[in-house]
Structure 1
Amino acid sequence: MDFVLVHGTTQSPASWDRVAKLLTTAGHRAIAVDLLTPVDLPVEGYAQHVREQYGGGRPVVVAHSGSGVLLPAIAEALDARAMVWVAAYIPDFAGGRSLRDEARDVLEPDWIGVDPAADPAKASEFLFHDCDPETERQALDSLRSFNPAVLATHPAGPAPEIPSTVIVPTRDRTLRPEWLRRAARERLGVTAIEIDSGHCPHLSRPAELAAILTRRT
């Protein structure tokens, strides 16, 4: 099975290295794509940008954090067999609100306005607080800002028909776990899977996350 791994707004594709290695060892193909481009694109442009980096068919697309805004478009562009939302924002398909409209409901108050790529101490506090020291050092090396306006302002389209799995880190300090559990039920019609981690289980709990991916998709 192919897995297309989509980084979030504060990290590079390297953040997926541990999970990709585990998936490959288990006999799968894992491609960590790069969303960064010289200019900001519309949502459909980022979906095309990902398609240009992937040469297979019908993958499972896994998105982290803010890239949940892009996940439905990417999954449709790749004719994905499934979508996985890892601590990822689930758009308001029925109401059409953007992430900016919902920010105070979705995000932990202390996280709003923080730029972890510019402040390693804040990154450790909010993103990597459950990582061991070696993992934390590697995680800090993966920091990179990717925050085009479209991620905050894009209004949600129709709900995708592609099957979804939602993974909720119970110790997330950025995206509210209780909000994500509710959004999984109300917006995607699924019960979330919980993992005992902070916002980045692909870094702090890669084996557990890889096991969920291979078991549920």
Structure 2
Amino acid sequence: MSTPTVVLVHGAFADASGFARLIPELRADGVPVLAPAVPNRGLSGDAAYIASVVRQIDGPVVLVGRSYGGAVITVAGVEDNVTALVYLAGYALEEGESLGELQGRFPDPPLASALVRREYPTGVPGGTGTDVYVDPDRFHAVFAADVDAELAEVLAVTQRPLAAAAFAEPATAAAWRTRPSWGTVSTADQTINPDVERFGYQRAGATTVEIDASHLVMLSRPKEVAAVIRDAVRATA
């Protein structure tokens, strides 16, 4: 079997550029990498988009999802050529479960009081939706505490929001039931309660690594994250 392509799936409040320090670590080992832009409009649509990307890759794929991207790979990961899932401070949902339902089982993280909402046009005449962002003034503290302050300031004003409706949309599949999985818990996470991450990984039977990092673990601790992904690649190559 050929070396799997690693597809990096970003989450809310940041785009694929958040993988800028992780990608060189993987490519240095000869691992093919792709980091598509996720629409962040809703779980089913986002998963369908990532699934379409995966289907057009010739050969096996290891899907890596950060944060909300974890929910996306949980659904998209049922594609035939997906050999493994890797969650980075992410949501490992059960089929029929939503982000809101999983989060609701645990105390709110500091992020909950730092969210701001803005309306956007849906494309339907007169129709509007709601996007969710992190308050830029609190972005560094609750989202990227261990990232350089200057970089965090840039990230705060270039956020890729998530449609609020995505929080209530149930997962239509749980790919971890048929695929091996790995997960990193960010123990200093202020965006997702680390116990949400632990619970999802334990339920999925994931090989779990705890890293003393913020939610943006792939930026602050890229070598440790790359090691987890390499394990998944080796185990399924």
20-29 or 145-154, larger mean C-alpha shift: 145-154
Q: In structure 2, what is the Cα distance between the partners aligned to 1:137 and 1:206? A: 20
Q: In structure 1, what is the Cα distance between the partners aligned to 2:198 and 2:43? A: 28
Secondary structure of the 2:70 match is helix
With over 3 angstroms needed to count, the CA separation of the structure-2 counterparts of 1:142 and 1:214, relative to structure 1, is farther
1:108 matched to which residue of 2? 108
Q: What TM-score comes out, normalization by structure 2 length?
A: 0.77
With over 3 angstroms needed to count, the CA separation of the structure-2 counterparts of 1:26 and 1:142, relative to structure 1, is farther
User: Identity of counterpart residues, as a percentage?
Assistant: 26
Secondary structure of the 1:81 match is strand
2:199 matched to which residue of 1? 182
User: 1:24-103 maps to which residues of 2 (within 5 A)?
Assistant: 24-36=27-39, 40=41, 43=44, 45-54=45-54, 55-56=56-57, 57-77=59-79, 79-93=81-95, 96-103=96-103
With over 3 angstroms needed to count, the CA separation of the structure-2 counterparts of 1:132 and 1:49, relative to structure 1, is same
Q: How well do the aligned residues superpose, as a CA RMSD in angstroms?
A: 2.5
Alignment partner for residue 20 of structure 1, among 20, 23, 28?
23
Whether the 8 Å contact between 2:43 and 2:169 is mirrored in structure 1 is no
Equivalent position amino acid for 1:83 in 2: L
Q: In structure 2, what is the Cα distance between the partners aligned to 1:100 and 1:21? A: 34
Secondary structure of the 2:82 match is coil
Alignment partner for residue 169 of structure 1, among 174, 180, 186?
186
How far does residue 109 in structure 1 lie from its aligned partner after superposition? 3.9
Deviations 1:29-70 (A, max 9, x none): 111111117xx4561x43332244454222110001112222
Q: In structure 1, what is the Cα distance between the partners aligned to 2:198 and 2:71? A: 17
Listed as ranges, the gaps of 5+ residues in structure 2 are 117-132
Q: In structure 2, what is the Cα distance between the partners aligned to 1:179 and 1:42? A: 18
**Matched pairs, number:** 211
Q: In structure 1, what is the Cα distance between the partners aligned to 2:22 and 2:6? A: 10
Alignment partner for residue 145 of structure 1, among 161, 171, 192?
161
With over 3 angstroms needed to count, the CA separation of the structure-2 counterparts of 1:125 and 1:89, relative to structure 1, is same
Secondary structure of the 1:84 match is strand
Equivalent position amino acid for 1:31 in 2: L
With over 3 angstroms needed to count, the CA separation of the structure-2 counterparts of 1:48 and 1:98, relative to structure 1, is closer
131-140 or 118-127, larger mean C-alpha shift: 131-140
Q: What TM-score comes out, normalization by structure 1 length?
A: 0.84
Q: In structure 1, what is the Cα distance between the partners aligned to 2:141 and 2:222? A: 19
167-176 or 97-106, larger mean C-alpha shift: 97-106
**Does 2:129 match 1:127?**
no
59-68 or 70-79, larger mean C-alpha shift: 70-79
With over 3 angstroms needed to count, the CA separation of the structure-2 counterparts of 1:204 and 1:141, relative to structure 1, is farther
Task: Detail structure 1 runs of 4+ shifted over 4 Å in the superposition.
Answer: none
Which has the larger strand fraction? 2
Whether the 8 Å contact between 2:181 and 2:207 is mirrored in structure 1 is no
Whether the 8 Å contact between 1:66 and 1:151 is mirrored in structure 2 is no
Listed as ranges, the gaps of 5+ residues in structure 1 are none
Q: In structure 2, what is the Cα distance between the partners aligned to 1:41 and 1:174? A: 19
2:170 matched to which residue of 1? 154
How far does residue 181 in structure 1 lie from its aligned partner after superposition? 1.6
Bigger radius of gyration:
2
